[in-house]
Amino acid sequence: MTNKKVKDAEIIEKKEVKKEDISPNRTALLYVIIIILTCVIAVGCLYELCLRDLISVKTGEQTSKQTINNNSIKEKSNITITETGLADAVEKVYDSVVIIENYSNGKLSSSGSGFVFKISGEYGYILTNNHVIDGSKDIKITFTNEKTVAATVVGSDDYSDIAVLSVPSNSVVMEAEIGSSENMRVGDTTFTVGAPLDSTIYSWTVTRGILSGKNRKIETSSSVMEVLQTDAAINSGNSGGPICNINGEVIGITNMKIASSSIEGIGFAIPIETAMEVAESLISGEDIKRPYLGISIYEGMNRFSLDSSVYINSVEKGSSADKAGLQAGDKLLKIDDTEITSVANFKYNLYKYKLGEKIKLTVERNGKTITITVTLQSK
């Protein structure tokens, strides 16, 4: 009995020992499982929170962008666009421009434009074209303030097509600012102010264009003029008015255009440098002296041949041409090395020289070509 009890006790003890050995392992495993589940739950919660924040941020950004875009659209829609163009430049010269009206027997015979370019003492001086006032006896000037005064012709020059008028200085509204045509480049902005067509309706009309060309040679029946070219609209009545640069400075005097159904936008102006040189001479009372040969010339058929060229019609006795040996019937071929193609061309090239200079004239006489040296004198 005793032995059996001992054995049973040993078996019970072994069972208890085994029970004690197994229980801690299970507990540890349980802890591990709990920890793992806790971590999974924590990670899941964290992911959900991060996802919510990310969605919130993106939503906020989109809202912000939409707000910015909406603000931008709203701001753009409230912008007011203003464009002054040449308004400031026009104001600098506008009130210096005058309307010139020529009367005959109390009736208006013609009109043109001009501008006040100088004020000195009791007088204001107006520049215009010679052809605007040529033959006029009664000239009236109207200013932008609608006041009209009588004008006096100080002097004029047919060849350069420049004339100067004077008015009382207290009647002048504004004096124009003189610029430089030499500093202008082809493509620069230009504008004109004048009275095209009917001065009673279109007075002080402003037209805009560009400088289309410089040093253009335009031949008329009596002269060749070196002028500026512009596509600013120029019409009858604009003659004598100013053409200006973008700063409102006068760079020339409008004087002609090419009129044709097939031509558009070709107008011309006398460079202000040329105009001012002639004007100052006229104001000072100086004669504008140009070389004078003492010959009359014509274009046409020579009495001895059938070709059309420039010929001497007559020679004034005692003139430089007479002293040099030129004769009626001589065909003019060259001045120095420049060919003569017309009466206007001959005058243009002759007037490039100064008094006292010597030139070589190549002429054809009786089928022979001869060269004659002439000393240039004044009339």
In a domain, 78, yes or no: no
Tokens 């009275």 — which residue? Answer: 195
Distance of alpha carbon 348 from alpha carbon 45, whole angstroms: 101
- Give the confidence band of 162 by pLDDT, cuts at 50, 70, 90: very high
Instruction: Flag whether pLDDT at 4 surpasses 50.
Output: no
The residue ranking higher by pLDDT, 286 or 246, is 246
Instruction: Flag whether pLDDT at 36 surpasses 90.
Output: no
269 and 196 within one domain: yes
Residue 98 belongs to what domain range?
87-171
265 and 241 within one domain: yes
- Give the confidence band of 65 by pLDDT, cuts at 50, 70, 90: very low
Classify 193 as helix, strand or coil. Answer: strand
Q: Which of 48-57, 151-160, 306-315 has the lowest mean pLDDT?
A: 48-57
In a domain, 287, yes or no: no
Q: Domain end: 71, 104, 136, which one?
A: 71
In a domain, 178, yes or no: no
- Give the confidence band of 19 by pLDDT, cuts at 50, 70, 90: very low
The per-residue pLDDT for 235 is: 83
Distance of alpha carbon 243 from alpha carbon 254, whole angstroms: 6
Q: Which of 113, 239, 320, 330 is catalytic?
A: 239
- Give the confidence band of 300 by pLDDT, cuts at 50, 70, 90: confident
> pTM higher than 0.75, yes or no?
no
Distance of alpha carbon 148 from alpha carbon 104, whole angstroms: 17
131 is catalytic: yes
In a domain, 177, yes or no: no
Q: Domain end: 112, 138, 171, which one?
A: 171
In a domain, 286, yes or no: no
Distance of alpha carbon 204 from alpha carbon 178, whole angstroms: 19
Q: Which of 110, 111, 161, 320 is catalytic?
A: 161
The per-residue pLDDT for 1 is: 46
- Give the confidence band of 8 by pLDDT, cuts at 50, 70, 90: very low
330 is catalytic: no
Q: What is the pLDDT of residues 351-364, one digit of tens each?
A: 999 999 999 999 99
Q: What is the pLDDT of residues 225-271, one digit of tens each?
A: 899 999 998 888 889 999 999 999 999 999 886 655 566 778 899 99
Q: What is the mean pLDDT of residues 40-52?
A: 60
> Most confidently modeled of 6-20, 28-42, 47-61, 148-162?
148-162
Record the tokens describing residue 188, joined without a space.
């620069």
The per-residue pLDDT for 304 is: 54
Q: What is the CATH number of the domain that holds 347?
A: 2.30.42.10
Domain count, the chain: 4
The per-residue pLDDT for 135 is: 83
Give every CB contact of residue 3 below 8 A, 6+ residues apart in sequence.
none
What's the distance, CA 292 to chain centroid? 39
In percent, the amount of the chain with pLDDT more than 90 equals 56
- Give the confidence band of 378 by pLDDT, cuts at 50, 70, 90: confident
Q: Which of 131, 223, 281, 314 is catalytic?
A: 131
Hey, what amino acid is at 168? P
In percent, the amount of the chain with pLDDT more than 70 equals 75
268 - beta bridge partners?
229, 256
203 is catalytic: no
Record the tokens describing residue 261, joined without a space.
């159904």
Q: What is the mean pLDDT of the chain?
A: 83
- Give the confidence band of 375 by pLDDT, cuts at 50, 70, 90: very high
254 and 317 within one domain: no
Q: What is the CATH number of the domain that holds 160?
A: 2.40.10.10
The per-residue pLDDT for 24 is: 56
The per-residue pLDDT for 85 is: 83
In a domain, 57, yes or no: yes
109 and 56 within one domain: no
Q: What is the mean pLDDT of residues 308-331?
A: 92
The residue ranking higher by pLDDT, 26 or 139, is 139
Classify 71 as helix, strand or coil. Answer: helix
In a domain, 281, yes or no: no
196 and 158 within one domain: no
In a domain, 139, yes or no: yes
